[in-house]
A and B are shown apart, each in its own frame.
Chain A
Amino acid sequence: MNNFFFKKNLIYFLLLFIIIIGFYIVEDFGIGIEEHFQRKSGFYWLNYILNLINTDFLSLEVDKKINEINYLNPNLFQIEQVPYYGIIFDLPMAFIETIFKINEPNQYFYLRHVTIFCIFLLSSFFFYKIIFERFNNYYLANLGFILFIFTPRIFGNIFFDNKDILFLSIITITFYYYLKYFKKNSVKNLIYLSIFSSLSTSARIIGFLVPISFIIIILLYLINGNDLKKNIKILFIFVFIYLFALFAHWPYLWSLSYYNFLNFFSPFFQAMNPIVFFNGEFYQSKYLPISYLPLWIILTTPVFILVLFINGFYFKIKRVFLKFINVDKSKIFSKFDLWNSNEECFDLFVLINFLLIVFLYISVDLALLSGWRHFYFLNFFLIYFSCFSLHIIYIKFRNNNKIKYIFSFFCFIFLILMISDIYKYHPFQSSYFNKLVSNQLKKKFEIDTQSLSRVHAVKEILNERNNQVSIGTASWTPLENSRSLIPTKLWEKLNFVGTNFENADFIYTNHYYEVNINYNKKYQIPENFYLYKIFSVDGTRIYSIYKNKKK
């Protein structure tokens, strides 16, 4: 009884533990490079909606906020230039910030950080439920939950990245409703699935693959001779609610003309095309080698998870392939050709989604930058197939307790090592590299691509100087935006001079550039500066500060 009680409720203890840890460390993290733009986007769309419904309610406050953003952050993109970003996080946050009159920058940014942490935690609970309902094993579900949260690069982003982590969270919840729908074909579950699919699409356009995978699965049902009328009805309800929800919550779609709809996907593939430093070479972001994404994932995911993922993926592909080539015979065992149960159908759905992403990646020239953070949603697939792998291993050795215990012991050791790495890298887990990567190799990659270190660096400089200080930036980092997490009373001490190094007392660089520094010398440190400080974690250089010799 005690054992049963513990197994079932372990997740709540874990959740409580992570909430306590999360609230304790949330203020350690800096500010992400896109946060100011996203906040601006939230107010832009809030203002758009207030104007649309023609109300004076809050409009004065919102105008004030927009003016303040334009004054404090004049270099941000105009939303009209890139209006297609989803609003499901930014608009409610702008509304909350306005209605509760939260006017201190560090307060509204910490509120955003706490909110994205809570959303991610909620999605992690959904992930736990997916693993439990799929494999019917509490231990595996708890282990999956821990791996899902404590993958270092993901953990490093859950406190500030309200774009990539938001998408990972929504796609996880969408998968849960998919599993729920196929376990119980109710209209309610279908509606939830449609709504979350639409949220996935607006959060990132690649989320469009989820409804496509669902349609593929329904077509596979039809090929198996399933009730045609019923499946057409399901498809109709799904597509109708999906489109309705997409239009209802994404104001960008309201402003599109017929011509824009015909070219709906083209704006999403337009990119700034900066230079990306990858594996010791400089590339244009549109013309990166195909190894870009796989190599980043291999170097920055714990080896333990990589091995489990490869094993699980191999077993799943093998299983589907064997079912595929034995289509005629499979009817003896099951009603369907490619799966035996709803759980296996879900595996296939996950696999189709993953393969569609792989096919998209190898066939379309995606402009990538900033490591693999735009693909952090792949963490769902990495951990799901890792759990599948563990499930296979436990089934294989279910009668051999000795091997099971040894394997569990090794899993425990790897978990401890992973968590110790998180501790070691704190609060720069977003710059994590696994044990396979030497310190020399780390220098061949961009590190602090989200400019998380700028608040840390500015605080360091402020500790050194009591009077006013001028700080230059020798990297692609809007350093002045770091003010948002610095108390406002210290703002007057700070003077940000950008690349006008002649006026600077200090120069900050996180070694992240949008140009090829072998040919473009705009970030070259002048000779009258000396290296004052290097901040490194586990041999990974996060940022450097140079000091003027004369000042």
Chain B
Amino acid sequence: MKIFVYKSLFIFILIFLLFHATFGYVLKSYESKVQNSFDKDKINFFKDKIRNEIEKGVKRDRILNNEDAILINKFINKLKEDLNDTN
């Protein structure tokens, strides 16, 4: 009985350590990477960056150059046609 208890204890500790040194470690490091990539400061920074770029764009005389404007216009018209066809 005593030997069984000791062996169980030993195996339990080994499994615990093995789990945390392998799966546990990998899981934790990925969780940490994901969570730290999307912290509040970074998200707010990128929000502000996008907001600033939009504001800058609005202030400019033209946002798109002529060629791009024609191309996007054609593309939207084409999309409209396709959508109308399905109706």
Q: A284 contacts which of B6, B39, B44, B45 (Cβ < 8 Å)?
A: B39
State whether A275 and B39 are in contact (beta carbons under 8 Å apart), knowing that A327-B2, A327-B3, A359-B16 are contacts in the complex. yes
B32 contact set on A, CB distance < 8 A: 283, 287-289
Given known contacts A282-B36, A327-B2, A327-B3, A289 and B29 CB-to-CB distance under 8 angstroms: yes
Q: A283-B36, A287-B31, A287-B36 are in contact. Are A324 and B6 (CB under 8 A)?
A: yes
CB A205 to nearest CB in B, in angstroms, measures: 21
Interface size, A (range):
20 to 34
CB under 8 Å from chain B, chain A span 341-391: 359, 362-363, 365
B41 touches A519 (CB 8 A): yes
Chain B residues 1 to 36 lying within 8 A of chain A, measured CB to CB, are: 2-3, 5-6, 10, 16, 20, 24-25, 28-29, 31-32, 35-36
Tally of contacts, chain A with chain B, CB under 8 A:
52
By the criterion CB–CB under 8 Å, are B25 and A519 in contact?
Answer: no
Residues of B within 8 A of A327 (CB): 2-3, 6
Q: What are the residues of chain A within 8 A of B2 when measuring CB–CB?
A: 223-225, 327, 337
Residue of A281, A287, A365 with most partner-chain B CB within 10 A: A287
Known contacts: A282-B36, A283-B36. The answer to whether A515 contacts B41 by CB under 8 A is: yes
B42 at the interface (CB under 8 A from A): yes
> Which A residues between 192 and 231 are near B, CB-CB below 8 angstroms?
223-225
Number of interface residues of B (CB under 8 A): 20
Q: Main SS of chain A's interface residues?
A: mixed
Q: How near does chain A come to B26, taking the closest CB pair, in angstroms? A: 11
Question: Which residues of the partner chain B approach A56 to less than 8 Å between Cβ atoms?
Answer: none
Smallest distance from the beta carbon of B21 to chain A beta carbons, Å? 9
Kindly state whether residue A520 has any CB partner on chain B within 8 Å: yes
Q: Which residues of B contact A283 (CB under 8 A)?
A: 32, 36
Q: Determine how close the nearest CB of chain A comes to the CB of B40; give it in whole angstroms.
A: 8
Question: A538 an interface residue at 8 Å Cβ cutoff?
Answer: no
> Within the complex, what minimum Cβ distance (angstroms) separates B44 from chain A?
7
| Residues 277-313 of chain A, each 1 if its beta carbon lies under 8 Å from chain B, else 0 | 0000111101111100000000000000000000000
Cβ–Cβ contact B20 & A337, under 8 A:
no
Q: Does A502 contact B (CB under 8 A)?
A: no
Query: Hey, which chain B residues are within 8 Å of A189, CB to CB?
Result: none
**Known contacts A327-B2, A327-B6, A520-B45, A284 near B36 by CB under 8 Å:** yes
8 other A-B residue contacts (CB within 8 Å) besides A284-B35, A327-B2 = A224-B2, A225-B2, A284-B39, A289-B29, A289-B32, A337-B2, A363-B24, A520-B44
Complex A-B: 10 CB contacts under 8 Å: A223-B2, A282-B41, A284-B35, A327-B3, A337-B2, A363-B24, A365-B28, A516-B41, A520-B41, A520-B44
Top 6 A-B pairs ranked by shortest CB distance? A519-B45, A516-B41, A287-B32, A519-B41, A520-B41, A287-B35
Q: What residues make up the interface of B, taking CB atoms closer than 8 Å to A?
A: 2-3, 5-6, 10, 16, 20, 24-25, 28-29, 31-32, 35-36, 39, 41-42, 44-45
Question: Which A positions have Cβ atoms within 8 angstroms of B?
Answer: 223-225, 275, 281-284, 286-290, 324, 327-328, 337, 359, 362-363, 365, 515-516, 519-520
